[in-house]
Amino acid sequence: MTSTPDIVRTSSKRNACDGASSIPGGAALGHPRVWLEIDEKGYVDCGYCDRRFILAGGPADISPDDSDSA
């Protein structure tokens, strides 16, 4: 069974991930801190924990508010 990866909406194109922010106990239970750069796709996935960082307002940012059809 695969679990759904964490999705983090962010306003910054450069983000740090250590895999610990959603794990009780902190970085000791995460992974080494890596810096990830969001590219023209509007998102980047962490190679360690599969957390996805999505640029708010970018091409990959599909929020429920954006699904209005006029």
pLDDT in tens, the chain (70 residues): 456 678 999 999 999 999 886 555 555 668 999 999 999 999 999 999 989 999 999 999 986 555 554 4
The domain limits of the chain are 7-59
- Sheet containing strand 43-45, edge to edge, reads 7-10, 52-55, 43-45
Question: Dihedral sign, CA of 39, 41, 47, 50?
Answer: positive
CATH architecture of 7-59: Sandwich (2.60)
Euclidean distance between CA atoms 52 and 57, whole angstroms:
15
Note the pTM of the prediction, 2 decimals. 0.74
Q: Which helix (H) or strand (E) holds 14?
A: strand 14-17
